[in-house]
Amino acid sequence: MPHTNRLAGLGSALDRREARGAFRISKQPEFLFSEEALVHRRSWSENLTYYTGLGYLAGEQAPGAWVLPAGGALTEQTGVL
Protein backbone atom coordinates (compact mmCIF):
# COMPACT_ATOMS: atom_id res chain seq x y z
CA MET A 1 0.00 0.00 0.00
CA PRO A 2 1.57 3.34 -1.02
CA HIS A 3 2.01 6.03 1.58
CA THR A 4 0.06 9.23 0.84
CA ASN A 5 0.39 12.46 2.69
CA ARG A 6 -3.01 13.31 4.10
CA LEU A 7 -1.87 16.84 4.92
CA ALA A 8 -0.73 17.71 1.41
CA GLY A 9 -2.22 21.00 0.26
CA LEU A 10 -3.11 22.13 3.77
CA GLY A 11 -0.35 24.75 3.73
CA SER A 12 -2.05 26.63 0.90
CA ALA A 13 -5.00 27.39 3.22
CA LEU A 14 -2.58 29.16 5.53
CA ASP A 15 -0.55 30.89 2.83
CA ARG A 16 -0.31 34.62 3.57
CA ARG A 17 0.19 35.61 -0.05
CA GLU A 18 -3.25 34.34 -0.98
CA ALA A 19 -5.00 35.90 2.04
CA ARG A 20 -3.74 39.47 1.52
CA GLY A 21 -6.67 40.58 -0.62
CA ALA A 22 -9.26 39.31 1.86
CA PHE A 23 -7.99 41.35 4.80
CA ARG A 24 -7.51 44.86 3.48
CA ILE A 25 -7.98 47.55 6.08
CA SER A 26 -9.04 50.97 4.95
CA LYS A 27 -6.88 53.95 5.85
CA GLN A 28 -9.88 56.14 6.69
CA PRO A 29 -12.43 55.54 9.43
CA GLU A 30 -15.64 53.87 8.35
CA PHE A 31 -18.99 55.20 9.51
CA LEU A 32 -22.35 53.51 9.46
CA PHE A 33 -24.17 56.80 8.88
CA SER A 34 -22.85 59.76 6.93
CA GLU A 35 -23.82 62.10 9.78
CA GLU A 36 -21.20 60.48 11.98
CA ALA A 37 -18.45 61.62 9.64
CA LEU A 38 -19.43 65.26 10.20
CA VAL A 39 -19.08 65.12 13.99
CA HIS A 40 -15.96 66.80 15.42
CA ARG A 41 -13.53 64.37 17.04
CA ARG A 42 -11.14 65.31 19.83
CA SER A 43 -7.49 65.82 18.95
CA TRP A 44 -4.72 63.91 20.72
CA SER A 45 -3.99 66.87 22.99
CA GLU A 46 -7.65 67.15 23.98
CA ASN A 47 -7.69 63.42 24.71
CA LEU A 48 -4.52 63.79 26.77
CA THR A 49 -6.07 66.57 28.82
CA TYR A 50 -9.36 64.70 29.23
CA TYR A 51 -7.84 61.40 30.34
CA THR A 52 -5.33 63.14 32.64
CA GLY A 53 -8.19 64.90 34.40
CA LEU A 54 -10.22 61.70 34.52
CA GLY A 55 -7.29 59.84 36.08
CA TYR A 56 -6.79 62.65 38.60
CA LEU A 57 -10.44 62.55 39.66
CA ALA A 58 -10.44 58.76 39.89
CA GLY A 59 -7.27 58.86 42.00
CA GLU A 60 -8.80 61.51 44.19
CA GLN A 61 -11.98 59.49 44.82
CA ALA A 62 -10.39 56.05 45.27
CA PRO A 63 -8.96 56.64 48.78
CA GLY A 64 -12.31 57.99 49.96
CA ALA A 65 -14.08 54.89 48.68
CA TRP A 66 -11.46 52.79 50.46
CA VAL A 67 -11.78 54.58 53.82
CA LEU A 68 -15.54 55.15 53.85
CA PRO A 69 -16.51 51.60 54.94
CA ALA A 70 -13.85 51.64 57.67
CA GLY A 71 -15.11 55.00 58.93
CA GLY A 72 -18.67 53.71 59.03
CA ALA A 73 -17.60 50.70 61.07
CA LEU A 74 -15.71 52.97 63.47
CA THR A 75 -18.75 55.17 64.13
CA GLU A 76 -20.88 52.09 64.82
CA GLN A 77 -18.36 50.89 67.41
CA THR A 78 -17.90 54.20 69.20
CA GLY A 79 -21.35 55.67 68.69
CA VAL A 80 -19.79 59.04 67.85
CA LEU A 81 -20.41 60.74 64.54
Q: What are the angstrom distances between the C-alpha of 44 and each of 39, 51, 69, 70?
A: 16, 10, 38, 40
For residue 33, being part of any structural domain is answered with yes
Range of the domain at 38: 10-78
Low-confidence ranges of the chain (pLDDT < 50): none
Predicted local confidence at residue 74, as pLDDT: 64
For residue 65, being part of any structural domain is answered with yes
For residue 3, being part of any structural domain is answered with no
For residue 42, being part of any structural domain is answered with yes
pTM exceeds 0.85 for this model: no
Predicted local confidence at residue 15, as pLDDT: 65
* Domain count for the chain: 1
**35-38-40 Cα angle (round to 5):** 130
For residue 4, being part of any structural domain is answered with no
Q: In whole angstroms, what is the distance from residue 8 CA to residue 11 CA? A: 7
Q: Residues 41, 47: contact at Cβ < 8 Å?
A: no
